[in-house]
Amino acid sequence: MARRVFFSFKYEDVSRAMIVRNSWVTQGKDAAGFVDAADFEKVKKQGEAAIKRWIDGQLEGTSVTVVLVGKDTCDSKYVQYEIEKSIEIGNGLIGIDVSKIKDMNGNTTTKCGRMVPAKFKFFLWNNDDGYNNMGDWIEAAAKAAGRT
């Protein structure tokens, strides 16, 4: 069975997140945690409880959460909730710096920090060759969490 992964990110980094997600999907893998802007706005209008229910639903059936860290990710209470919920349900967890992936305008930024607790691995998408190595990172995180 294919591993299902939840991708956590702040919406301002969606173009970078799509590059990471698409590299996963093009390798025949399943991803969760992506919603288009119009659908997210509908959920957002229903309030914080609705957003958390949506996140909880997206996390169902996943075994690893990948936190994509950009310039403003550290300010997101929902990314923090996704991290806490992922730990609570026993998902493997990794962080990936996506700040050096060029956005749609060809710009890069800095990362805001590490986001994931120190006991979890953190990678640099560009420097650590994320396209070729993310599958190994995810499998290692799943194994570390006992998610075989």
Using DSSP's 3-state secondary structure scheme, residue 31 falls into strand
Residue 45 vs residues 41, 42, 66, 112: alpha-carbon distances, Å: 6, 5, 26, 27
Q: 48-59 and 37-45 helices cross at what angle (nearest 10)? A: 130
Rounded CA gap, 25 and 34, in Å? 12
Rounded CA gap, 47 and 43, in Å? 7
- pLDDT (tens digit, 0 to 9) for every residue of the chain, 148 residues total? 467 889 899 988 888 988 888 887 656 665 555 555 556 778 889 999 999 998 999 899 899 999 999 999 999 999 999 999 999 999 999 999 999 999 889 999 999 999 999 999 999 999 999 998 998 999 999 999 999 7
Domain map (residue ranges) of the chain: 4-144
| 4-144: CATH number | 3.40.50.450
